[in-house]
Amino acid sequence: MTVTLLIIDSDTSLAEALATYLARQQFAVDIAGCEADAAGLFERHAHKIVLADPIFAGRVKGVALLRRFKADQPLTQLIVFTAEELLAPFMEQLGSDALGFLSKPVNSLALDHMLRQAREWISLKSKLYRYTARLDDLYTAQVSYQQLFDEVPCYISVQDRRFRITAANRLFKKDFGTQVGAFCYEVYKHRSTQCPNCPVADTFKDGKSHQTEEIVTSRSGRQYNVLTWTAPIRDERGNITQVMEMSTNITQIRKLQDHLVSLGLMLGSMSHGVKGMLTALDGGIYQLETGLKRQDPDRIQHAFGQIRQMTDRIRKMVLEILYYAKSRELQYREVDAHRLARTVVATVYPVAERQRVSLKTDIDPALGMCEADANWLQAALVNFLENAVEACIHDQSQSDHEVWFQARPDGPDRICFEVIDNGMGMDRETQEKMFTLFFSSKGSKGTGLGMFIANHVITQHGGSIRVTSSPGQGSRFLILLPRHRPDKLPASELPMHEVPPRNPEPDQLHIDPPAGPLGSPNCAHGDDSP
Amino acid sequence: MGHKILVVDDDPNVVDYLTTLFEDHGYQTCHAPDAQTGLEMARREKPDLITLDLEMPGEWGPRFYRKMSQDPEIKNTPVIVISGMSGNEYAIGKAVATLTKPFDREQLLKIVRDTLM
């Protein structure tokens, strides 16, 4: 490697002799006899080595110049050569800025040694410079990658062979906790052993990327549908040491899909009921027509009752479909709870009477006001009562049936509605499925929507429902409703599925709000719609 | 004396409609809410025609028809299927007709008339 070298000496002939000597050692040499020349040459060539006698024309001028060179080009190595008696003061002034000091006349061995040293320094320093620059780049890159890693709107975790999490991005930490070294299956699924069909295990095995869809549970108990991809992380020898797992939250999409699927399912399953109703309506119209023709008041009366019953049923079914088809926002208003409860009773009373079920009520006049969507709350309560009447009709074991409806304040902030019947009761399975979409214990007569919607309306109001029942013993529904509307959660925060209670008491289930916006079935009972 | 028609359907409103309709047109009627009762009634009443729903609690219409076909006393009774199921025309191949709810009143009466001629 040719190294550039600048000789500064006012003794031109000495400088030339040195130049000849150094050129033979593969240096590209320039000579400067005065300060101005030196400055000009150095500015142009930025020599790697400067060999200088700071004494110009008997005056010390070179020190400042050399310092400037060093400041401009820190890589440049300075070697001072001068009369022996001047060495000490120059050493003091230049110190570590110079690589070394030689006395005139220059000993060639000492010069060679120093030049070798200078070359080594130069190569070392330039390497160091390159590395430092690279380190800086690396650092910048690392910071930006970390930023990317953190800001990606997915859950990213890096796992070792035992599925321990060694790194996780911000979103992951937010929803699943910050513990390093925890097992993936523990954090994502609250399991104690490895999950079956683990894509991370597959990637460790074959080094390829794998994809799965999973349902994971966040630390707050929310369930998310995630689409998961894995990628291997290899060491410098190409061995897979870790696997990166990236999970995209697709809960919203799945929710929508579920909604569409169940909507289709609903229309299919309801068509039979609809056809029956239409036929019965035809029957009513036929009897009305013929009754009018024959002037037969009994037949007209009978036909009218039938038509009214059918239109009620069809109206109810259409309303249910509309409610389900469009998850509507509740229209909150200040509602007089006492009046609402009385309206509910007035609606159900004729139904109960017709079926010879005694309806007993106990409505506290001091029920007060509450914030609610009166239409839907009323519909939900009517549903619970009608359901109780139905449970009585289906109970053949006895003939004395009653439904008891109570409404009372529950502390200052809540209203409690209680519906008790001594009807057929429910087994555990029916209780668990009762609020599920399309679950009906009434065969083709139920839409499987009534209790689902009733439950949804209550939970949307921030209320909760407690069910106690056993077969042959009747059922008890305790509905607790807050007086004020619940703080609304953003749609994305609504859970996909309710997490089932871990250890429910026997024959008792407690459904807590909130449920998804018609998201998905929670738990439990038959349905309503007669 | 008019012909007797047995209506087998689990929906009381539909039963009410069919029996009224038939009686208004001079037929005698009897009815049953399920397949089992329907068979018993068919054996007892020996109707001239049966209208049969397909989807009922307990045994469904096709089972009723099979059992009926095995009883020499009633096996030749004509059956009209009246059901809400789509694609029901294949459920009982030997039925004289298959109608889908909600059915056309005049069409049903015509089929009944033609069958009982």
Question: Tens of pLDDT along A122-146?
Answer: 888 888 888 988 999 989 888 888 8
Contact B107, B77 (CB under 8 A): no
Residues in chain B: 117
pLDDT at residue A197 in the model: 86
CA A252/CA B58 separation, integer angstroms: 41
Question: Tens of pLDDT along A274-296?
Answer: 888 899 999 999 999 999 999 99
pLDDT at residue B87 in the model: 64
pLDDT class for B86, splitting at 50, 70, 90?
A: low
Contact A451, A383 (CB under 8 A): yes
Helix (H, G, I), strand (E, B) or coil at B103: coil
Residue in the structure block whose two tokens are 């502390």 = A411
Determine contact: B34 vs chain A, CB below 8 A: no
Q: Minimal Cα–Cα distance from A280 to chain B, Å?
A: 5
Mean pLDDT of B15-41: 94
pLDDT at residue A507 in the model: 41
pLDDT at residue A487 in the model: 63
The single-letter DSSP state of residue A498 is: P
Report how far Cα A145 is from the mean position of its chain's Cα atoms: 20
Contact A415, A372 (CB under 8 A): no
Determine contact: B13 vs chain A, CB below 8 A: yes
Lookup: tokens for A449:
């929507």
What's the farthest any 2 CA atoms get from each other in chain B? 36
pLDDT at residue A58 in the model: 63
Query: Which residue in the set A275, A286, A306 is minimally distant from B21, CB to CB?
Result: A286
Q: Does residue B8 have a pLDDT over 90?
A: yes
CA A46/CA A103 separation, integer angstroms: 25
In chain B, which residues have their Cβ closer than 8 Å to the Cβ of A310?
Answer: 13
Determine contact: A355 vs chain B, CB below 8 A: no
Lookup: tokens for A353:
């009477």
Which residue on chain A is closest to B58 by alpha carbon?
A443
CA A164/CA A203 separation, integer angstroms: 15
Determine contact: A284 vs chain B, CB below 8 A: yes
CB contact under 8 A, B17 and A443: no
Contact A181, A165 (CB under 8 A): yes
Q: Minimal Cα–Cα distance from A198 to chain B, Å?
A: 44
pLDDT class for B79, splitting at 50, 70, 90?
A: very high
pLDDT at residue A57 in the model: 60
In chain A, which residues have their Cβ closer than 8 Å to the Cβ of B55?
Answer: 272, 444
CB contact under 8 A, B105 and A284: no
pLDDT at residue A1 in the model: 65
Q: Which residues contact B48 (CB under 8 A, 6 or more apart)?
A: B3, B4, B5, B77, B78, B116
Q: What is the ipTM of this complex?
A: 0.87
pLDDT at residue B47 in the model: 96
Residues paired with A464 in a beta bridge = A480
Ranges under pLDDT 50 in chain A: 443-444, 488-530
Inter-axis angle of helices A450-460 and A297-325, to 10 degrees? 50
Which residue on chain A is closest to B13 by alpha carbon?
A280
CB contact under 8 A, B17 and A280: yes
The single-letter DSSP state of residue A183 is: B
B contact test, residue of A269, A270, A278, A279 with most B CBs within 10 A: A279
Lookup: tokens for A142:
């690392």
CA A460/CA A361 separation, integer angstroms: 26
CB contact under 8 A, A443 and B84: no
The single-letter DSSP state of residue A78 is: E
Determine contact: A278 vs chain B, CB below 8 A: yes
In chain B, which residues have their Cβ closer than 8 Å to the Cβ of A443?
Answer: 57
pLDDT at residue A522 in the model: 36
What are the DSSP calls for A254-319, one per residue? Answer: HHHHHHHHHHHHHHHHHHHHHHHHHHHHHHHHHHHHHHHHHT-HHHHHHHHHHHHHHHHHHHHHHH
Q: What angle do CA A11, A16, A22 make, to 5 degrees?
A: 125
Which residue on chain B is closest to A289 by alpha carbon?
B21
CB contact under 8 A, B101 and A309: no
